[in-house]
Amino acid sequence: MNQIKRIISKNAVPILFAIVCLLGVYYAQMPGQFLFMEIIKRMARNSFLVLSLIIPVVAGMGLNFGIVLGALAGQIALILSTHWEWSGIGGLGLTALLATPMAVLFGVLAGMVLNKAKGREMITGMVMGFFANGVYQFIFLFLVGTVIPFDNAALRISTSPGLRNTVNLSRLRGVLDNIWTVQYGFTKIPIVTFLVIALLAIAIWAFFKTKLGQDFRAVGQDRHIAGVAGIQTDRNRILAIVFSTVLAAWGQIIFLQNIGTLNTYNSHEQVGTFAIAALLIGGASVTKATIGQALMGTFLFHLLFVVSPSAGQAIFGSAQVGEYFRVFVAYGIIAISLALHAWRSKSLAKASMEEDVSA
C-alpha cells in the first residue's frame, strides 16, 4: 500500500495530466487515426526543444526560459537561409550550422548574465527572453530595409521597412521529415526526425557519463563544494547554457521545417513556456529532469493540446473556449506543476515519518 502511495506521490504530476488527457480524449470523441497522426506530428516537432532544457536543470540553473534566445538564433539563420535560397536537406544542415555560432554567442552572453543572478536564473532567463525579443524586433522590423540594406521581395514588406509577418519556408519545408517516412494508416511517420531526437537523447545520456557531465552535476548540487574541489563553476554554468541555447536553435529549426512557415514576430514567443510546460508535465522539477520525463511530458502536453478544442466544443459548446483553454493550460500547467512539486516534497517528508510509525 505504501509502495503504491509512494509511486503515486512521486509521479503526481504526470498522473494528474494523464487523467485530464484521458477525460479530454473521451469528450473530444476524435477518431483514433487522427489523434495518432497529430501526436506523431507534434512529438516530431517539439521533442528536440524540450530535450534542450535538460542540461541546465542538471547543472542547477533551473528551467531555462532563455531558450527563446536559441530559438531566435535558429530563426535568424532561417531568415538568412531563405534570403540566400538554400534548399533541401543540405540547405537545412547549412542553416543549422549558421545558427550555431549565433546560438553560442547568445548562450555565452546569457550565461554571463545568469552568473550574476545566481538563484534567480528562471525569472532572469524569462526577462532576458523578452529583452532579446525586443532587440530582434528592432532589427527585423526597423533596421532591415533602413540601416541594413535588404532587398528581397519575398521577405520585405513592400511599403515600409521590416520583414513580412510570415516567411514562407517552402524550400526547407519538411526536408528532414520527408527523407524517410513510414506510412501507418493515413499517418506518415517521419523516421529520420525521430532518429535525430533519439540521437540527441542518447547524446545527453552519454554526456552525463563524461567528466564534463559529472562537473555539471557537481555544480548543480552545490556550487561552493564543487568550487572548493577545483571545478570552475561559473565557466561550467555558462557552458550548460551554451549547450542548451545551441540545442534550442537546432530544435527551433526542426520545428519550423515541419511547420513550413515562419511567423517572423511570434514563432519564438512561446517556445520557452511551452517546452517548459511539457517538461514539467512529464514529472520534472526545477532540480531534476530526465530524458524520459521530457518525452513523456511532450506526449501528454500535446495530447492535451490536440483534444482541448474539441473537448471545449463538446463540453461548453464552443471550440473557442477550447482555444483559450490551450493557452490557459500551458501557463496553468507551469503554475500547477511548481505547486505540486512543493506539495510533493512536503508529502514525501510526511510519508517517511509515517513509515516510521508502522516500522
Q: Considering the complex, what minimum distance in angstroms separates the CB of residue 297 from another protein?
A: 22
Taking the least distance from each CB to another protein, the nearer of 165 and 221 is: 221
List the one residue from 231, 286, 315, 338 that touches another protein (CB under 8 A): 231
135 near another protein, judged by CB under 8 A: no
What is the x/- site pattern for another protein, positions 293-332, by CB under 8 A?
A: ----------------------------------------
Per DSSP, the three-state class of 262 is: strand
Distance of alpha carbon 43 from alpha carbon 28, whole angstroms:
20
Q: How many CB atoms lie within 10 A of CB 222?
A: 13
Size of the site for another protein (CB under 8 A): 25
**Grid cell of 188 as nine digits:** 506518415
Helix axes 271-281, 32-51, angle to 10 degrees: 110
Q: What is the 3-state secondary structure (H, E, C) of 72-86?
A: HHHHHHHHHHHHCCC
345 near another protein, judged by CB under 8 A: no
Q: Considering the complex, what minimum distance in angstroms separates the CB of residue 197 from another protein?
A: 19
358 near another protein, judged by CB under 8 A: no
Stretch that binds another protein, among 30-38, 113-121, 310-318, 348-356 (CB under 8 A): 348-356
The CA distances from residue 182 to 64, 189, 234, 298, in Å, are 34, 5, 46, 21
1 near another protein, judged by CB under 8 A: no
Residues in region 199-228 near another protein by CB under 8 A: 206-207, 209-212, 214-215, 217-218, 221-222, 225-226, 228
104 near another protein, judged by CB under 8 A: no
Cβ pair 265, 137 in contact under 8 A: yes
Q: Considering the complex, what minimum distance in angstroms separates the CB of residue 107 from another protein?
A: 17
Alpha helices in 282-318 (DSSP H): 291-316
In degrees, rounded to 5, the angle at the alpha carbon of residue 65 between the alpha carbons of residues 25 and 121 is 135
In degrees, rounded to 5, the angle at the alpha carbon of residue 340 between the alpha carbons of residues 117 and 14 is 110
121 near another protein, judged by CB under 8 A: no
Q: Among residues 76, 74, 72, which one has the least CA distance to residue 132?
A: 72
List the one residue from 123, 229, 327, 335 that touches another protein (CB under 8 A): 229
Q: Considering the complex, what minimum distance in angstroms separates the CB of residue 61 from another protein?
A: 16
352 near another protein, judged by CB under 8 A: yes
Taking the least distance from each CB to another protein, the nearer of 19 and 202 is: 202
Q: Considering the complex, what minimum distance in angstroms separates the CB of residue 211 from another protein?
A: 5
Phi-psi region of 152 (alpha: psi -120 to 50; beta: other; left: phi over 0): beta
Q: Considering the complex, what minimum distance in angstroms separates the CB of residue 104 from another protein?
A: 14
Helix axes 191-207, 233-259, angle to 10 degrees: 170
Distance of alpha carbon 333 from alpha carbon 325, whole angstroms:
11
97 near another protein, judged by CB under 8 A: no
Q: Considering the complex, what minimum distance in angstroms separates the CB of residue 223 from another protein?
A: 11
Which parts of this chain interact with another protein (CB under 8 A)?
206-207, 209-212, 214-215, 217-218, 221-222, 225-226, 228-231, 346, 349-350, 352-353, 356-357
